[in-house]
Structure 1
Amino acid sequence: MPRFIELVQTDAAGTRDPADLPVELPYHLAPRDILRCVEDLHQLLHDLNTQLDDKGYERLEELLDPAGFSGLMSRAVVDNIHRQSRALDRNEYHNGYPDLVPHGVYPQNKAQHGDRGGLEVKASRYDGSWQSHGPRAGWFCVVQFEIDDDEDKALKDREPTRIRAVMIAELTKDDWSWQPAKEDRIRSGTASVKVTGRYKLRAGAVWVDPDYEDEHQRLLSRAKLESWAESRDEAVLAYFTTHPDDEVKKQDVIDWLAAEHGLESDDIKGRVGTGITNLVKTGQVERVKPGVFQLTP
């Protein structure tokens, strides 16, 4: 039997406790619903590839181009959540946004550009750089999967595609960057999730493959650090404004910020130093003597 049609066993141990999530899941969704969704995705890929192999076809991952395969996975997630949820319905408008709309909100559950809630679903083989057709505020579900595309292996020896993580978070428009379409190009503009959005999604992971947990935590920590770094100067200034009369050393600022934001002191040492330098240049902080700083009166 080809290796790629083996059924992936979904480990329930990867399911997060609701109390451990940063925010409550929307629309009465529960982690157990996401666990069932992952189980169904693994079963679907197993069933489809088994039938394709029986008929002499290539595996599904070869028959579809990358966008087509991701689209199939997204659609399967949408259908699964639609069947499980009493609060969300599949958006029946072709390519409408969001993929799942609140029950009873739109006539015939059709919304071209919905702005009354819902859940947008993205399936991707990548661990970041998730994209959309435009910067949008709302709830997003990212399903990260892994395809064995090792060209040194025969197709029949490749591992079955497996889900690595399912992440749900509420994003704002500021969590997206926007790349307009270039002149004379058919492709439309593209919105990409910024590091702030990646951090929210990683922090909102509802199910993570235990074999992928270490990598997920590494990516979560990196996104948290990079997200914090985007507002570094404001964070450093916040220290001085809460200690307006203190003459402090850089290490004092580092230790306070690390504790305040749940970061490692060594990871932010250089960034804090740069932040203090910037604040001195703008006159918001003054150097009272070598290595000692204070909020400018």
Structure 2
Amino acid sequence: MAAKPEGKLAIVFDSPPWSRQRSIPRAHALFTSPLHVRIRSNINFRQTLHVRHSQQPGFNQGQQRCGAAFELRIDDFLLATQDIYDFFFDVNTNLVAKGLERLDDTLRPAIMSGVLSDMLTASLAKHSRTLVVNSYFNGHPDLVVRGKYPLNAAKAGEFGVEVKTTRKSGGAVDTHGARNQWMCVFVYGVDTVTEPAIARLPMRFTEIYLGEVQVEDFRKNARGELGTRTATLHAKGIAKLRTNWIYRQ
């Protein structure tokens, strides 16, 4: 759906890859997202607009305050995911224009998840009212409450949110250990099968969960002598997390 205000600007809502908007080159349309609302002009000026959560399908209308202890809002997640979509839009547009593969097709799944986790952590910190990036290298959690720890650095903190990403529907994701924590899990999908590759759908987030879990909600994963010890939410634990969903496509 599109609405055209006065002048040369056009506001484009929910532009799919097969968008017929003449002002959007096909290579650009490939990387728009279902949450995108953009201002476009003939000089390629683009600006992200703030949209209230009540206008966005898929978001949990009852979760206006997602984690009361951290003052997180639906809009924080909306804007954080928009930041990621904008990044992939910009990068992939330039790659495709040069005849190169999309970033989605280049990165291995584990690397892709790591990149997305770091980017979402930074974006949530930017839009959140109380959370900042944990400045302790490899510290836990990824986001800490501003001012709770010296220099906002915590090796193993209690006040904050751990951010995870996965391609597994439902939000089950490995962690480096069971602990009492707030977890935020972003589930995303990447189209790697459509041919020709130029017709592939853009990377998109399909589920977002935010919930408080305890040590007893995890199961330990058996590993060999050379394997890394991990823990994953067991069936009841993952069900507990899913009750606190933020977004489901």
TM-score by length of structure 2 reads 0.75
1:26-175 map, 5 Å = 26-114=69-157, 116-128=158-170, 129-150=172-193, 153-175=195-217
Cα 1:52/1:84, change in 2 over 3 Å: same
Identity rate, percent: 30
Amino acid at match of 2:120: V
Shift of 1:124: 0.7
What SS does the corresponding residue of 1:89 show, helix, strand or coil?
strand
Amino acid at match of 2:185: V
Cα offsets for 1:166-213 (capped at 9, x unmatched): 110000111111125422x1x31011111122112221111222xxxx
What SS does the corresponding residue of 2:201 show, helix, strand or coil?
coil
Cα 1:67/1:4, change in 2 over 3 Å: farther
Amino acid at match of 2:62: P
Amino acid at match of 2:167: R
CA distance in 2, matches of 1:168, 1:34: 11
State which of 216, 224, 241 in structure 2 corresponds to 1:182: 224
Contact 2:136–2:153, Cα closer than 8 Å, also in 1: yes
Match of residue 207 from structure 1: 247
Structure 1 residue runs of 5 or longer lacking an equivalent are 210-297
CA distance in 1, matches of 2:106, 2:69: 35
Structure 2 residue runs of 5 or longer lacking an equivalent are 1-25, 36-54
State which of 198, 205, 211 in structure 1 corresponds to 2:238: 198
Structure whose residues are more often helix by fraction: 1
Amino acid at match of 1:182: G
* Aligned-residue CA RMSD (Å): 2.2
Cα offsets for 1:130-165 (capped at 9, x unmatched): 110101111000000111121x62221211111101
Shift of 1:125: 0.8
Cα 1:176/1:159, change in 2 over 3 Å: same
CA distance in 2, matches of 1:120, 1:130: 12
CA distance in 2, matches of 1:75, 1:90: 10
CA distance in 2, matches of 1:101, 1:156: 40
Q: Which is worse superposed, 89-98 or 132-141? A: 89-98
Contact 2:27–2:97, Cα closer than 8 Å, also in 1: no
Amino acid at match of 1:9: P
Cα offsets for 1:60-114 (capped at 9, x unmatched): 1222111111111111111111111231110122221100011112222222222
Match of residue 231 from structure 1: none
| Aligned positions, number | 204
Match of residue 228 from structure 1: none
CA distance in 1, matches of 2:68, 2:245: 11
Mark the structure with the bigger radius of gyration: 1
Contact 1:165–1:207, Cα closer than 8 Å, also in 2: yes
Match of residue 6 from structure 1: 31
Amino acid at match of 1:63: T
CA distance in 2, matches of 1:61, 1:147: 7
Amino acid at match of 1:67: A
What SS does the corresponding residue of 1:191 show, helix, strand or coil?
strand
Contact 2:30–2:200, Cα closer than 8 Å, also in 1: no
Match of residue 60 from structure 2: 16
CA distance in 1, matches of 2:212, 2:105: 34
